Each structure stands twice: as structure tokens, then as C-alpha cells.
Structure 1
Amino acid sequence: MVRLKLSCLFLCVVCFSIVTLLCLYFPDKPIIYKISRFSALNTSILLQRHSVKLFQTKKNEEVVIAVVICGNRTSEALVMIKSAIIFRGNTDLRIVVVAEKNIQQEFDETLRDWKLLTNDSFSYEIHSITFPKEHSDEWRKLFQPCASERLFLPSVLSHLDSILYVDTDTLFLSNVEDVWKHFALMNSSQLAAMVPEHEDMNVGWYNRFAKHPYYGKLGLNSGVMLMNLTRMREFDWIGRLAPVLEKYRLYLTWGDQDIINVIFHDHPDKVYVYPCRYNFRSDHCMYMSNCKSAEENGIAVLHGSRSTFQTNKQPAFRAIFNAMAQYQLGSDPVKYLLDKATSLLNETIITNCGHLAPIFTHNMRILFQTI
């Protein structure tokens, strides 16, 4: 009996020893670690793939809007920029401000605040006004202060390929891409796009009063101008400016716009002409409605030329400007912009332009329905 117990004890000791040796030879912790590490690696790869898929969004085309500001046009220009931000759609919007140094800080502070308010929905850059040394003073005073700086943007903005230049007294009332898309419709020789100065020969300015060459039958309005800066540089655009100034300086009633007309008179194949809805002015409605594209598809860009945003000359234009100026970015665009604009426009329906109120808000209604 004692021998049997000793034998069992011996077997137990042997078995325990064998198990111990096996555990030492095949340690379980490293095996578990390796499995855990493999699982973590797989998980990490899966998460990375998911993240790439989640954040790999399609790159939208960048729309670059440029404006030149001098003097007391700061507030007006900021309202224009606000309208571009509101109607940026799905584009990557870049705002290019070319301004006098004394007003650059105000633009920088305001645009920085707007970026934060709109979750970095746009980018911006600020440049200083510069004119060539030759005829510098004459260029600066050619029309309104600094307006002719637009002529030199191919040089000033040498890092950019294309821009949509707009005057300070303009407002976007449709997706900014509606204008920008015309770059794709230009042929390989065309370097800029504009609308006719008029639609009606009976009220046209250039065909009745100009004493210098101009494009086509009615001339061009340069307040909303697509500019392919690369092609303009290849065309030696800057080099062509001074000779025109020297030859016609006594007849340039509209300054830089007249110079543009002279150049495109001599090179009509270099300009693309798009419909008047992309630069709708009081001339299109003050006597009678003569912009068919706006009647059919609404106004894309409103141009408050001749101070129509700031005076009571055209109440409908001022109504839209006031609604845009009062609108706070980030607030309900239907309630605080569309409804406000509609209400103000209703007060102008006795005027010829106010009678066309629906074309002012047509694209707002379409856009805000999709938000």
C-alpha cells in the first residue's frame, strides 16, 4: 500500500515537472502577445483604410475671385465678398484682395472672422496696389481711384493662372461657378470673357459717343471679367497698355474699360462674350427689359454701376444691396436674406427695374431650396 502511494506521488511529480518544462519551453505570454499584436495590426490597417475612404473626398475646382479696392470702397467690397461666400456652392473659393495698404488690416480682420464663422469655407490673400513707374500717376487717376490696377493683374498676380475679376459694386446672386464655368467654354485663343456694354443700339454709349475703337457693335463692359492670366501674359498684355494710353489718352471716358475695348477691337478673337445675366446693370431694365438671359434664368451677377447701390436712382438695386449688407453670415438665408430681399423689392415694383423683381431672387430661391 505504501509502495502504491509512493508510485502515485512519483508519477505526480514527474507529470508536474513535464508540464512545467513544457510551459517554460513554450511560454504562453509571447504567443498571446504575438496574436494580440497581429490583431492590432489588422485593426489598424482596417481603420486606416476606412479613414482614407471616409476623408478622401473629390477635389472641387477652385474659383478665384479678385477685387481691387481704393478709397472709400471698403464696405461695398466686403458686401460683394459676403455674397460670393454665400453663393460659393461646392467650390473651393479663394478671395484675392488687391488694396491700398491703409485698408488691408480691415480686410484681413474681417475675412479672418468670416473664415471662422463659416468653418473655413474659403481662403483669401491680400496684395498691395502697384503701378508701373512709367505713367504711374496717370494710371492711378485714369478713371476712379486705382480702377486701372485691374489692367496689371496678370503681373501683380503672377502666381495665379485664372481669376474672375469683379468691381466692388457687384453682387453674386447665383452660384459663383455659374460664371466660372465659362472658362471651359472659351477656345484656346480667348484670354478674357465679358458682356456687351449694351443690348440695344438705340441706347448704346460706344456706338453713339466713343471717339476711339471699341469691340463689336456695342463695346464691352469690364465690371465682371474672366481673365486667363497665363494667356494674357503670353499675349504680352501689359506691354500693349501704354501704347493705347498714349494714343487715346484724350478720349478715354471710361478709363481702363476703354483701353480693354481698344485692345479687343484690334484682337476680337481674343475675347469671349457671355450673356448679360452675368453682369446685369440698370441699363438692362431702367427703360425696358432687354436682357433675355436674365428673364429666362435670373440674374447671376448684379452690377450696381453709376452708384445704384448707394443712391435712390434705382430702388430695386439698392434693395438687393441693403438686404445683402444686413445679412449676417451663418444665419438663416431664407428668413434673413431671401425674405428680406423679397420684402424690400416689393416696395419698388412701381419702377421699371422693380417690376422685374422675380429675376433678382430667382437663383436664390433655387439654391436655398437645396440647403
Structure 2
Amino acid sequence: MRRYIRVLVACMVFAIFSALYVFSNLSSVGTSVAVVGGLVFSRSATLQSDDERRTRPETRGHLQIHRHASGNVGTVSTATPPSAPPRPPLSPPSAPRWQDSSRSAEGRRSAEGRRRSVEGRRSAEEVHLAVVVCGDRMEETLTMLKSAVLLSSTHSRTHINAHVFAEEQLHQGLRDEVGGGVEGWRWCRSDGDVMEEVDVMEEVDLESWPRLQRSRLNCTIYPISFPQEHQEDWRSLFKPCASQRLFLPALLQDVDSVLYVDTDVLFLRPLVDMWELLSLFNSTQLAAMSPEHEEPRIAWYSRFARHPYYGVTGVNSGVMLMNLTRIRAALFKNDMTSVGLSWAELLAPLHQKYKLNITWGDQDLINIIFHHNPEKLYVFPCHWNFRPDHCIYGSNCDAAKQKGVFILHGNRGVFHDSRQPAFRAIYDAIRTFPLQGDLVSSLLLPLEGELNRTTHTYCGKVHHLFTQDFGPTLINLQRAREEEERRRRRRGGGR
């Protein structure tokens, strides 16, 4: 009997060690899973060893990358460009980043250095902008970025970090369009469970840009990524990929705060002025949006919503300022549990409860969240998110009447059809404007001429609101350009 017991014990020990061996190898081969901010994101990939990573060429889109033993990557560098200003420290994330066991020690030290900071050390010199691009929205995205760069050069020390989440088939086109005109175009690609950032610094032609237009713009492109659970539901919610913005706190772990905008947005005032609204947050506020409508009697949420929403008319999430550090750390009241849930814990059960009652997808979920947590939201005026609803039913945005339109949001496709020609006129003017052109004679004056042809429409009747602030900004920027050119010529003549 003792002999049988010893054999049984030996077999059990062997089985346990075999199971441990199998599980230890599953982490390096097969479909990888990344845990980010409490959410599980799936990545289908085969992971290589460190030696394989150093020697095996990789091809993504049309960009081939070869890793060398030294850590250098052909014409691609992971270092910050020498000309870029030092970035301010970022607040430490409250949740783990993408698990990256294969990073070099130098890379880990660099990432750790970026994470170390104290919340609140933001600078007007460093702003973060996020956008999600799917389908045929690439042109809109490029025009939006163009408007941001165009006006941000009024603040010569402003540095814009644009985080572009895009479908993989759009990556190459985005790099081709932007890579030739900015200081850095960085591409984040999925490498198993590793989100790796690559800086493309070669073949950047800054000479085609006016000197004052060379504001610091770093564009980083990321793959579209949704939590493994209910992945297809998230992907198809409302519009393709639109719900990606819900997961920015998990995906941008190294970023303290970010301004999210839809692709159909144009900046008519320097982006840094919107960024400064962060300083107006009180101790509980962690996001900022504008009301969905100014007039409750004709507002969509107050008439048709079948779910809770913020305030009297709800909020519009097409322009959303987010303190990601606070969002990651906060607990949110809700109508599903008696205890607060984190942002990551809240999203899936909230969607499951209300998915049959929501119309506008992720925006409805955001409204539900802030209905139960109104103290966490800062509401900014409508001129920071001016939409057709503010003029097609009569002019109802008082802030725009007083100060002009600061951000133009052409939702419902009005940038591309004839329903609202005033909106389309501004979009086409910025889209076709050559960045080295004269801002007054080649942009402002032709635009005003086009707007004068739209007075037969309701929005055209108030077209002066579109250039009330935009016009003086362009005039001042053109004067600054000319002064800079005169200084350059004097320096050249002195030689």
C-alpha cells in the first residue's frame, strides 16, 4: 500500500510541475492579453525573444524597421528629437501600463522618468490632443490638426502632442501627409502586449513651413484597441471606433491631461487657450464639456432621452477636456451598485444596462456617468463647441455673440454638404490654405467673401461670429510673421 501511495504522490507532483511549465510558456506564444487600467485588451500576436527582436526585420504598412543589437532602429530613433523642448513631468498613473517585459533597461528608465511627477504641473507650453480616426475621416483629421498648428504658432513656445488613434489601413496615409511637415511623427504599433513608440525623424522638411509656423507638433499614431470583453459591441457603438475615447484613461497611461476632439472640429482660437481651462477645475472636477443645447425646449436629451443625462440638456462629448490622472483615481457613483466604481470598472456594466436605451452611443454613457457625478464635471460655454444647432434654430449661443466662435464643430457632416454653407466655407478655406501663404490675403479675406454668400441661411446670417475672434487672430499672426521675416533679413544682411 505504501508503494502505491508513493507512486500516486510522485505522479501528482509531476502533473503539477507539468502544468506550471505549460502556463509559463503560454505568456510568450499565442494571443497576448494586455491589462491596462483594469481593462483586458486583446492583441493577436506571436511574441519573440529578445534576441529575435534585435535581429528580425519588421514590416508595418510600408515602413520596414530592422532592430540592431545596439537598440538603434535603422532610420528610426526612439529618442526625443534634440530640437524639441523638454517635456514637463507627468503625473504618475494610478494603474499599470501595457505590460512590457521585453523593453530594454534604458527604455524602462525612460518610461519611468516620464511617469514621475506631481499632479498639477501642467504647462501652457505642453498640450496633449487626442482624436480617433476611422473610415473616411482622414481628411477631416488632417484639417483639424492644420487648424491647431496654424493658430498655435501665435504662442511660439507651445508644443502640441497629438495622439491619433486610427485604423491600421490609415496609418501610412497619415504619416505621409503629416510626416513631411512637422518635427516628429511617431508611430505606436501593437507588438504583442507591448505598445511601442517609434519616432520617425528622417526626411522631415520643415523649410516648407514659415518660421513662425514651426510650432512643436509631435503626432503619435496608435492602433484602434478595445477591451477584449464585448470588443465588437464597443467597436460598433454609434459610429465605427467612436467609443475609443472612453478608454483614453487606460490607453494614455503616461499622459496627465488631454483634450479630445472629434475629427469634424476646427480651432478658430489657439488650442492653448482651451488647455488653460484645466486651471479652472476645482478639486473634484476631472472633465469638461459644453452643454448639448442651450434651449431646453428644443434640446434632444430633454425631449427624447430614455436614460439619465447631465443637467437640463445633457452635454456634448465632441470636445472634451480630460484630467486623465483624476479619472484613473476616481470612484464614480452609479445606479448599479451601492459603492463607487472606477472608470474602468464602470464602462462595461453601464453599457450592458443601457445599450437598448441609448442613441448616441458613448456620449450617452458619458451623460449617464455625469448625471450621477455632477460634481466631477466642469461645463464650459458653447463658443468652445459651436455646432449647427446653435444657429439653425436661431442664434442661441450667447457666449459666441459676446466673444465669437472659438471652436467650430461641424457635426452631422455639414463640412461636406450644402446644408450649412457657412460651416463648409470655413472648412474648405482651412483645408486648401497653403501654410506658407499670407494669412490675411490668402485665408481671411477670401473666407469672408465666401461667408457673405451664405446669408440666405440661418447660420450664414450670423457668419460674423465665425470670424469675430478668428479674424483678429489671423491678422496678428500675419503681422508677427512679417516682423519675424524682417528680423531674419536684418540678421542675414548683417552677415
Aligned to 1:103: 170
C-alpha contact 2:149 2:215 (8 A) present in aligned 1: no
The DSSP-based 3-state class of the residue aligned with 1:253 is coil
Aligned to 2:145: 81
Aligned to 1:170: 265
2:399 counterpart of 1:293 = yes
Q: 1:60 to 1:223 in 2, by over 3 A?
A: closer
AA of the residue aligned to 2:128: V
The DSSP-based 3-state class of the residue aligned with 2:463 is helix
2:416 counterpart of 1:310 = yes
C-alpha contact 2:124 2:275 (8 A) present in aligned 1: no
- Deviations along 1:31-85, one digit per CA (max 9) or x if unpaired, are xxxxxxxxxxxxxxxxxxxxxxxx99x9852121110001111011111111011
| Structure-2 separation of matches of 1:340 and 1:107 | 28
- Deviations along 1:238-257, one digit per CA (max 9) or x if unpaired, are 22111110110001100000
Identity within the alignment, %: 48
AA of the residue aligned to 2:146: K
The DSSP-based 3-state class of the residue aligned with 2:298 is coil
C-alpha contact 1:114 1:329 (8 A) present in aligned 2: no
Aligned to 2:385: 279
Report the CA distance between 1:365 and its aligned residue.
Answer: 1.9
- Counterpart among 228, 236, 249 of residue 133 in structure 1: 228
- Counterpart among 264, 272, 290 of residue 370 in structure 2: 264
Report the CA distance between 1:338 and its aligned residue.
Answer: 1.0
In our comparison, the structure showing a higher alpha carbon Rg is 1
C-alpha contact 2:124 2:272 (8 A) present in aligned 1: no
Aligned to 2:68: none
TM-score, length basis structure 1: 0.82
Structure 1 residues not aligned, in runs of 5+: 1-54
TM-score, length basis structure 2: 0.62
Aligned to 2:434: 328
Report the CA distance between 1:368 and its aligned residue.
Answer: 2.2
2:174 counterpart of 1:68 = no
- Counterpart among 274, 278, 283 of residue 188 in structure 1: 283
- Summarize the alignment of residues 26-37 of structure 1 with structure 2, pairs less than 5 Å apart: none
Task: Give the length in aligned residue pairs.
Answer: 316
- Deviations along 1:260-298, one digit per CA (max 9) or x if unpaired, are 000000111111000000000000000210001011111
2:274 counterpart of 1:179 = yes
Structure 2 residues not aligned, in runs of 5+: 1-84, 89-122, 183-205, 331-341, 478-495
- Counterpart among 336, 346, 361 of residue 452 in structure 2: 346
- Summarize the alignment of residues 121-160 of structure 1 with structure 2, pairs less than 5 Å apart: 121-160=216-255
Aligned to 1:32: none
Aligned to 2:469: 363
Report the CA distance between 1:202 and its aligned residue.
Answer: 1.3
| Between structures 1 and 2, the one with greater helix share | 1
AA of the residue aligned to 1:303: H
- Summarize the alignment of residues 200-215 of structure 1 with structure 2, pairs less than 5 Å apart: 200-215=295-310
Aligned to 2:81: none
- Counterpart among 425, 428, 443 of residue 337 in structure 1: 443
- Deviations along 1:133-164, one digit per CA (max 9) or x if unpaired, are 00100000001110000000111111111111
AA of the residue aligned to 1:217: V
- Deviations along 1:105-124, one digit per CA (max 9) or x if unpaired, are 11122222121234363222
- Extract structure 1 runs of 4+ deviating beyond 4 A: none
The DSSP-based 3-state class of the residue aligned with 1:63 is strand
| Structure-2 separation of matches of 1:211 and 1:179 | 32
| Structure-2 separation of matches of 1:332 and 1:96 | 29
| Structure-2 separation of matches of 1:61 and 1:193 | 20
| Structure-2 separation of matches of 1:304 and 1:60 | 27
| Structure-2 separation of matches of 1:289 and 1:244 | 36
C-alpha contact 1:87 1:176 (8 A) present in aligned 2: yes
- Summarize the alignment of residues 213-224 of structure 1 with structure 2, pairs less than 5 Å apart: 213-224=308-319
The DSSP-based 3-state class of the residue aligned with 1:66 is strand
| Structure-2 separation of matches of 1:324 and 1:232 | 34
| Structure-2 separation of matches of 1:175 and 1:298 | 13
Report the CA distance between 1:301 and its aligned residue.
Answer: 0.5
| Structure-1 separation of matches of 2:215 and 2:254 | 22
Task: Answer with 232-241 or 72-81: which moved more.
Answer: 232-241
What's the Cα RMSD here?
1.6
| Structure-2 separation of matches of 1:179 and 1:213 | 28
